[in-house]
Amino acid sequence: MRSLILLTASRLLFPLLLLFSVFLLLRGHNAPGGGFVGGLVAAAALALHALAHGISATRSVVAVAPLNFVALGLGCALGSGLVGWFWQQPYLTGLWTSLPLLGKVGTPLLFDLGVYLLVIGMVAHVLFLLWEE
Amino acid sequence: MQAFLAITIGCLYAGAFYLMLRRSIVKLLLGLGLLGHAANLLIFATSGLVRFAPIMTEPGAATPPRVADPVPQALILTAIVISFGVLAFSVVLIKLTAAAARTDDVDSLRTSEM
Amino acid sequence: MIREMLLVLPVLVPLAAAILSVPGSLVLQRRAAMVGLTGHLVASMLLLAVAARGEVFAVQLAAWPAPFGITFVADTFSGLLLASMSLITWLVLLHSTASIPERLQRLTFFPLAMVLLAGVSGALLTGDLFNLYVWFEVLLMASFILLTLGAERPQLEGGLKYVALNLIASAFFLTGVGLLYGSTGTLNLADLSRRTSELPLSFPRIAAVLFLLLSFGIKAAVFPLFGWLPASYHTPPAAIAALFSALLTKVGVYSMIRVGTLLLPQPPEALTNALLGVAGLTMVTGVLGAVAQTEMKRLLSFHIVSQIGYLVLGFALYSVAGLTGAIYFFVHVSVAKAVLFLVAGELERQYRTTDLTELGGSYRTSPTLAAACFVGAMGLAGLPPLSGFFAKLQLVVATLEREAFFSLVAALLVSMLTLFSMCKIWAEAFWKAPTSARVAAEDWPPAMRFATVGLALLTLLLGTFAEPLMTLAQQAAEQLLDRQAYLQAVLGGP
């Protein structure tokens, strides 16, 4: 049951939603948003894509097994805590620096990125599993 | 507001226990979901139900005299995320169980206790 | 700085091993798990070495000062449990490389076991009540999947009960946390301890503590909340059951003792009496359930419940002697129970069943296994000079000190019934004439042999060198009841 309306809409909305999820991720430190919400929006984009194009098409868009996203995200989040050790700070201490072009970046951003990836991977994993039953 | 919230929390707990005491697996799962909501709402109620300024303001601005407590909301968010994951697992579990046992009746799930 | 790193390494190392090996092959996952476990063992031994000098040390994660951030803290109690659990997990996972079918190992068994260990370590080390909830959920999530690994029908049915009861316990935990935060405004355990001794006793705080104890009681499987344990623990492969018996219920009792001693410096008489009653009933009902069983893994599951009763007894006595006994008992029972589950695993491999009525004559075919089983069984029953004797002796002395004669009678009676039930296992599985033929032709795989014999030797060592461990346990008990060192390490100041 392919719907032309849904197909067209998802073609427009899918990149837009992904972009919006990145926007949420980046503004999240001091304003509403963050890795968790961003990840959920990105996962919702995947769900929309799967509704319109079928689950196998979405699988090929994601390209790798969602569990790898979970592992990578968890790795980013845990790794961001280790940075503090090099400056004799306790685990998970937030450290910030300014980089050219990028602006202010720091370990909390890396942590948020980890959460973002983890949520995408986790929701996509559940989605694929339940959808393909 | 406080009375309203108290009654809602009470209803949620009551509904959760009622559902969990039914014999259907699906109702057991719904009951567990409600129980989580009840606990979350209880934590929310501990924040005081008052409107104060947010604790984070623009850099350099003076801190307002009374600020709202952000901790309960952080706790609830964490608890919601966890219950989301656990619920996803439980749905798969009851689906597999119901398929293997061919029944929705909790009382007949006794093969592991024979 | 090194100490601050030591406090988070037991959580980080297993998680890192799990993350790095999840996308890889089974061989990689297995190797990563063993490397991660070795790292965990080294870290927790170092932690214990520092804690054994009587120091309590803490780290404030993300450098947030104490009541606001998450604190990780280690004292002798958590160090001792962490080190013993680490060693047992190391041996049990070594056993599982050979005993768990490869079909099941492929379902990310090793990464899940690592996540379980990380969750347990986090729960032992955290100094924050809400963080404790989070670690509980981490270890529960891993245990849900491990329990239902392979999705056989009994596993699913037992798993459903396990999941449902544990989710109810988690909701009670949250309820307790909410009430406690509402009435005190903090969730840092040390800060809670300090404030509750200043504030007058109020209804929400009593309700909160009761909710927390109820939640830990479900997780620890005490009377009358233990129904989920014998329904589920015998369904997965024996190595997984051994892992669960060493880690899961023990964390429940650990939290009960940790939160109980911090939040109730002088517990009301009614509460300790109720706890004594619960402990006695847990011991008695557990062992009576075990006596009625003929399936070895189910029988052992009932014994887990019965032994939990001894741990709760030590806590309910609320004295240095009682807690010393409970802490020694922790180490002893984790080891002895793991031996017996691993023996059950080998019998299952040989005969494809662990029903005692169908087993027999294994004494002749596997004498080493018989010896290991004998040591584990007699250790659990509490015969000198094995570890169980000193653990129970200490608890008996503590009950006499408090003149809790009903508990004393229950403890001794249950000990006798445990001995009977252990003799039944040994006589049925090893001594009587064989009733069915061995199915497995190959020999005992070396990994399984090493793990089982190693744990049996550990039971012997714990008994013959009981003195140093007992001294450590006493130091841990004194720290628990004194609380000053803990408060000072977390909050600073006098």
- Looking at the complex, report in whole angstroms how far the Cα of residue C30 sits from the nearest Cα belonging to chain A: 17
- Percent residues over pLDDT 90 in chain C: 65
Overall average pLDDT of the C350-362 stretch: 83
Query: What pLDDT is attached to residue C137?
Result: 94
Touching check for A30 and chain B: CB below 8 Å? Answer: yes
Amino acid at C364: R
Tokens of C233: 């623990």
Query: pLDDT tens for residues C17-26?
Result: 999 888 888 9
Average pLDDT in chain A: 87
Q: Are A25 and A112 in contact (CB under 8 A)?
A: yes
Does the pLDDT value for residue C111 go beyond 60? yes
Please check whether residue A92 is in contact with residue A81, taking contact to mean a CB–CB distance below 8 angstroms: yes
Shortest distance, CA A66 to any CA of chain B (angstroms): 15
Closest-CA residue of chain B to C158: B112
At C349, is the pLDDT very low, low, confident or very high (cuts 50, 70, 90)? confident
B21 alpha carbon, distance to own chain's centre: 18
Helix (H, G, I), strand (E, B) or coil at C29: helix
The verdict on residue B86 lying in a domain is yes
Residues C269-282 have pLDDT tens digits of 889 999 999 999 99
- pLDDT 10s digits, C32-60: 999 999 999 999 999 999 999 988 999 99
Domain count, chain B: 1
Name chain C contacts of A82, Cβ cutoff 8 Å: 12
Alpha-carbon distances of C6 from C1, C2, C42, rounded to whole Å:
9, 6, 10
Contact yes or no for A36 and B95 at CB 8 A: no
| CA–CA gap between residue C272 and residue C283 (Å, rounded) | 16
Domain that holds residue B79: 2-51+68-107
* Model-wide pTM > 0.90: yes
One-letter amino acid at C122 equals G
Question: Which of A81, B75, B73 is closest to C187 using CA atoms?
Answer: B75
Range list of H helices, C66-128: 76-99, 102-105, 109-125
CA–CA gap between residue C41 and residue C47 (Å, rounded): 10
Are A91 and A84 in contact, with CB atoms under 8 Å apart?
A: yes
Average pLDDT score over residue span A6-20 = 92
Beta-carbon separation of C167 and B90 below 8 A? yes
Structure tokens at C312: 């709760």
* pLDDT of the residue at B114: 58
In this structure, is residue B62 part of a structural domain? no
- The encoded tokens of residue C430 equal 């090893």
Mean pLDDT of C158-185: 91
Q: Which one, of C6, C171, C181, C166, lies nearest residue C78 by Cα?
A: C6
Distance, in angstroms, between C289 CA and closest chain B CA?
12
Q: Which chains touch C (3 or more CB pairs under 8 A)?
A: A, B
User: pLDDT-based confidence at C152, cuts 50/70/90?
Assistant: confident
> Taking a C-beta distance cutoff of 8 angstroms, is the pair A66, A57 a contact?
no
Does B6 map to a domain? yes
Closest Cα partner for C99 from C450, C469, C474, C445? C445
Query: For the segment A82-95, what is each residue's pLDDT rounded down to a tens digit?
Result: 888 888 888 888 88
Q: Could you report the predicted ipTM of this complex, rounded to two decimals?
A: 0.92
Kindly give, in sequence order, each residue whose CB lies less than 8 Å from that of residue C27, ignoring residues fewer than 6 positions away: none
Question: Which residues make beta-bridge pairs with C355?
Answer: C295
A47 touches chain C (CB under 8 A): no
**C-alpha separations of B68 from B63, C68, C292, C360 in Å:** 12, 15, 58, 69
Contacts of B77 in chain A (CB under 8 A): 36
pLDDT score for B101: 83
Task: From first to last of the 114 residues of chain B, give the pLDDT tens digit.
Answer: 888 999 999 999 999 999 999 988 899 999 999 999 999 999 988 877 777 777 766 667 777 778 888 888 889 989 998 988 898 889 889 888 888 888 888 777 777 665
Separation CA C295–CA C305 (nearest Å): 16
pLDDT band for position A133 (cuts 50, 70, 90)? low
C25 CB near a chain A CB, below 8 Å? no
Q: State yes or no: pLDDT of C288 exceeds 90.
A: yes
Q: Reply yes or no on whether the pLDDT at A43 is more than 90.
A: yes
| pLDDT of C493 above 70 | no
Pair of tokens at residue B65? 């005299």
How far does the CA of residue B11 sit from the closest CA of chain A (Å)? Answer: 29
Beta-carbon separation of C20 and A71 below 8 A: yes
pLDDT of residue C293 exceeding 70: yes
pLDDT for A1 beyond 70: no
Query: How far, in Å, are B3, C214, C216, C252, C353 from residue C165 at the CA level?
Result: 30, 12, 12, 13, 28
Average per-residue pLDDT for chain C: 91
Residue C217 pLDDT:
94
Q: Is B60 in the A-facing interface, judged by CB distances under 8 Å?
A: no
- For chain A, domain boundaries: 4-131
Are residues C426 and C356 in contact, defined by beta-carbon separation less than 8 angstroms?
no
Contact B92 A122 (CB under 8 A): no
Size of chain C in residues? 494
pLDDT for the residue C83 = 95
Residue B12, domain member (yes or no): yes
Assess whether pLDDT exceeds 60 at residue C494: no
Domain presence at residue B87: yes
Residue C170 pLDDT: 93
Q: Is C440 helix (H, G, I), strand (E, B) or coil?
A: coil
- Quick one: pLDDT at residue C353? 83
Structure confidence by residue, pLDDT tens digits, C421-475? 999 998 888 888 877 777 766 788 899 999 999 999 999 999 888 899 999 999 9
Q: How many CB atoms lie within 10 A of CB C192?
A: 23
Q: Contact C284/C360 with Cβ under 8 angstroms?
A: no
